[in-house]
Structure 1
Amino acid sequence: MAVILMGHTKGGVGKSTGAVQVAIGRALQGKDVLLVNGDRQSSSFKSIARRDEAGVLPSVTVVAYPEGDQLRTQVLRMAGKYDDVIIDAGGRDSTALRHAMMIADVMLVPIAPRDYDLDALEDELVPLIEEIQAARGDNPLPVYAYLNMADPNRLSSDNIAARKVIAGFPQLTLTELNIVGRKAISGASANGLAVSEMRPRDPKAVSEVGALLSALFD
């Protein structure tokens, strides 16, 4: 059982989209999954509600705990009942994000190759990571970053520049994952579907989300 946090202090980076794709992707692999919505916008909660309303199987259990104390208490209480727990938290420095970082086994940080997103690393996220790592003591939180909503050309100047900036922060480990801002991914997530369930099928989107799942679980 793993507790995986998809988090960031910056909104609009695609963390809810990623959390939904990982949760449903694991359910499609036969895992019993709990998706925890720790964001007051409730995007991931609404996505799974649409999946349930449409009667799409397999189902994913989703709960909403926007308050940090409640999130931590309930996740620790329920975690043993599931194969995977995926937490969607952040969009700002919140109690939910902080408590999620304290109990997670790994944190994934989607970062768009845009100036504002990169500024947010130094101004907000990196100081928070340092604070949480100090609080966790001898049980550090592995924090991995990947490019999300990236340019289709992997070697575009924006992608390369973003990778260079991210690599300059030792508090995060930059992965080779490169998920493009594809309509198929955002559209699938909003409707509570894995990209592999969308029709027409977008092979590139399926491959990119598959790479994310493989990086986490293979």
Structure 2
Amino acid sequence: MIITVGNTKGGVGKTTLAVQLAIARALAGRDVWLIDGDRQGTAAAAIAARAEGGRQPGIACAQYADGPALRGQVQQQRNKWQDIIIDAGGRDSTALRAALILSDVLLVPFAPRSYDVWALDDMAALVDEARSVRDGLRAFAVMNQADPGEHSADNADAAAAVAEVPQFEYLAAPIRRRKAFSNAGGAGLAVSELAPRDPKAIAEIDSLVSSLFNIQQIA
């Protein structure tokens, strides 16, 4: 299965989620390849920190910020891996466009801020383009950096706005603003590997992973 975590809007936490997904699947015993499709190389840096810390399982990671290179490498190597997670975006790039054509699933993180929700229109247009070339791309939007409160009006308003964008299925597995995510990401760790443990952060990532992969299996 190939999943792209992407958004043309920066600062929505796509790299955090891509790294968490990759490690979670590796911890579940899957052969995982994480591709950093962003020139900033943040995901690759996180995995390098994990390797330097001697954490197991190790995560295979490569950086291809150029669309043709990313497409060629994935086409050559896709059968070697059970799951490929591509971190792409922050802007409309050739890597993001290549990733969309290759992927089974697109996960678009968005924050509960009006300009983040508006930016989904740009991603919706890219989804339409990708679907015109390739059938079967499923696109999900997930709220990231959500307000911690269970009954936040901003969270509810953002979720309702996303439901109006027909290209996306809203994934009701919000990730809230928690220090555990930034602490874990910088060290290349899953939140479940971080000490002290944050049970709420762990439960949120577990819910996201379960939702994403169960949906694909049902499909």
Settle same-fold status: TM greater than 0.5: yes
Displacement after TM superposition at 1:216 (Å): 2.0
Measure the CA separation in 2 of the matches of 1:176 and 1:69. Answer: 34
Q: Give the length in aligned residue pairs.
A: 214
* Residue matched to 1:206: 202
Partner of 1:37: 36
In 2, Cα distance between the equivalents of 1:45 and 1:140?
28
Q: 1:154 touches 1:178 (CA, 8 Å); kept in 2?
A: no
| Superposed counterparts of 1:66-85, under 5 Å | 66-85=65-84
| Gap regions ≥5 residues in structure 2 | 215-219
| Secondary structure of the structure 1 residue equivalent to 2:145 | strand
Once the two structures are TM-superposed, the CA of residue 217 in structure 1 deviates from its matched residue by 2.3
Instruction: Establish whether residue 191 from structure 1 lines up as the match of residue 190 from structure 2.
Output: no
How many Å separate the matches in 1 of 2:20 and 2:168? 22
SS across alignment from 2:175: strand
Give the residue type in structure 2 aligned to 1:167.
Answer: A
> Amino acid of the residue matched to residue 132 of structure 2?
A
Distance in 1 (CA, whole Å) between partners of 2:136 and 2:132 is: 8
Tell me the equivalent position of 2:163: 167
Shift of 1:34: 0.3
- Distance (Å, rounded) in 1 between the aligned partners of 2:38 and 2:54: 25
> Shift in Å at residue 197 of structure 1?
0.3
Contact 1:178-1:208 at 8 Å conserved across structures: yes
The structural deviation recorded for 1:212 is: 1.0
User: Post-superposition shift, 1:153?
Assistant: 1.6
Whether the 8 Å CA contact 2:181–2:191 is kept in 1: the answer is yes
Task: State the identity as a percent.
Answer: 49
Partner secondary structure for residue 19 of structure 1 = helix
In structure 2, the partner of 1:119 is: 118
- Residue aligned with 1:209, SS: helix
Match of 1:135 in 2: 133
Root-mean-square deviation (CA), in Å?
A: 0.9
1:216 counterpart residue number: 212
Distance 1:150 1:88 in 2: 20
5+ residue gaps, structure 1, are none
Q: Does 1:51 align with 2:50?
A: yes
In structure 1, C-alpha distance between the alignment counterparts of 2:25 and 2:165, rounded to whole Å: 30
